[in-house]
Structure 1
Amino acid sequence: MTRVVYNTATTLDGYLADPDDSLEWLFAVPGSAEAESSFPAFLEGIGALVMGSTTYEWVYNHERLDEHPEKWAYGDRLSLVLTTRDLPLVEGANIRLHSGSVREAWEQLVSAADGRDVWVVGGGDVVGQFADAGLLDEIRVSIAPVTLGAGKPLLPRRLESDRLVLESARQSGQFAELVYSVRSSS
């Protein structure tokens, strides 16, 4: 059964990116390579992914995908970008732009996932839309020993403890990795 999994890294004070949408803080954390060591196994279970336009543009620009499309890290999986704007696409990648709701995109994501999970890459508002629609199943968050004081929030929605169940916690280098299952709001 296809699940929606939000897997991301955040600062200790709950930000995904700084006020300028940069993730440079993340790459400066010692031991980040160790924390990323489980990523290939996670990606094996992903059949489709979805992200917002700010996340997509950051990856596109950071990796210089216009010049190096081979750096697209998500293979041939469907990558749905939620946006109301035209954005440049990565040559050879299976990227589609979607301007509707996550509920309208759901059947397309399930079909593309083919029994595997859908990964919400980011940002926080996109995962919030999945939570609002009752489609969010799991939150996997790696907390970095960094505080920014401001930036893009991890999940700008209210989810209380009756909906979140801690499934696991472990240390990976300088990161604390937490996995929560998300109960429906009904």
Structure 2
Amino acid sequence: MDASRPRVIFNTATTLNGFLADDTDSLEWLFAVPGADAAESGFADFLAGVGTFVMGSTTYEWVVAHERLLERPQLWHEMYGDRPSFVLSTREQDVPAGTDIRVRSGAVEDTWPEIAAAAGDRAVWLVGGGDLVGQFADAGLLDEIRVSVAPVTLVAGRPLLPRRLESDRLRLAEVHQAGQFAELVYEVRTPGAT
């Protein structure tokens, strides 16, 4: 990783068989897991180190619809604070009033200077989805994957990371148990790095 740029972290939950969302793009399976509060216990510490976050359009649209954020924009601030936020999308997006949500299109590399500037000396949190994270990995801009594996399997859905990353690019750095979740932290190496 280039020490002059912010650290980019994909922090998410997944099913045991590797799905971020079900086949209707819902996360309801996650909220039904007993002990989810234990898994969330360290989240405030993680969030304190985040300067900005990025999400893809499907994730953003689900959050906006599920939380009814266009009618309740203050909830965005309760969930994510006042950080500048980015939505990478090829579609027009409605933005809740009073939020610093920046909708951008195009390649990750094109938006990266603005994302890095918004993060400052703190991390960039890739909220999801998997294809967005794959684009950051393809660009050599993904530094860490933090995944909480839930005791749930789904028949179909959105894959955790629809890219092939071999073991030469991933190094297991930490393993924790939080309630019913197994928390795994992998460092991601840039292709060709030693």
Same fold at TM > 0.5: yes
* 1:114-129 aligned within 5 A: 114-129=120-135
Deviation at 1:130, TM superposition (A): 0.2
| Partners of 1:110 and 1:3 in 2: CA distance | 9
**Any conservation in 2 of the 1:138–1:179 contact (CA below 8 Å)?**
yes
- The residue type equivalent to 1:83 in the other structure is S
| Partners of 1:166 and 1:71 in 2: CA distance | 35
In the alignment, which residue of structure 2 is the partner of 1:173? 179
Q: In the alignment, is residue 100 of structure 1 matched against residue 119 of structure 2?
A: no
SS where residue 142 of structure 1 aligns?
strand
**Any conservation in 2 of the 1:75–1:93 contact (CA below 8 Å)?**
no
Q: In the alignment, is residue 86 of structure 1 matched against residue 92 of structure 2?
A: yes
Structure 1 unaligned residues grouped into runs of 5+? none
Deviation at 1:172, TM superposition (A): 0.1
- Number of aligned pairs? 186
Deviation at 1:92, TM superposition (A): 1.0
SS where residue 7 of structure 1 aligns?
strand
How far does the alpha carbon of each residue in 1:53-111 deviate from its partner, in whole angstroms, 9 at most, with x for none? 00001110111101111111111211110111111101111101111111111110110
In the alignment, which residue of structure 1 is the partner of 2:61? 57
Q: In the alignment, is residue 138 of structure 1 matched against residue 144 of structure 2?
A: yes
| Root-mean-square deviation (Å) | 0.7
Deviation at 1:42, TM superposition (A): 0.5
| Partners of 1:92 and 1:74 in 2: CA distance | 13
TM-score, normalised to structure 2's length? Answer: 0.94
| Partners of 1:60 and 1:138 in 2: CA distance | 26
Deviation at 1:13, TM superposition (A): 0.3
* 1:64-75 aligned within 5 A: 64-72=68-76, 73-75=79-81
SS where residue 29 of structure 1 aligns?
coil
Equivalent in 144, 148, 156 of residue 150 of structure 1: 156
Equivalent in 11, 24, 27 of residue 7 of structure 1: 11
Deviation at 1:33, TM superposition (A): 1.1
TM-score, normalised to structure 1's length? Answer: 0.98
Structure 1 residue ranges (4+ consecutive) displaced by more than 3 angstroms after TM superposition: none
How far does the alpha carbon of each residue in 1:155-181 deviate from its partner, in whole angstroms, 9 at most, with x for none? 000001111000000100000000000
| Partners of 2:106 and 2:122 in 1: CA distance | 23
| Partners of 1:118 and 1:169 in 2: CA distance | 22
Q: In the alignment, is residue 113 of structure 1 matched against residue 158 of structure 2?
A: no
In the alignment, which residue of structure 2 is the partner of 1:42? 46
| Partners of 1:138 and 1:57 in 2: CA distance | 25
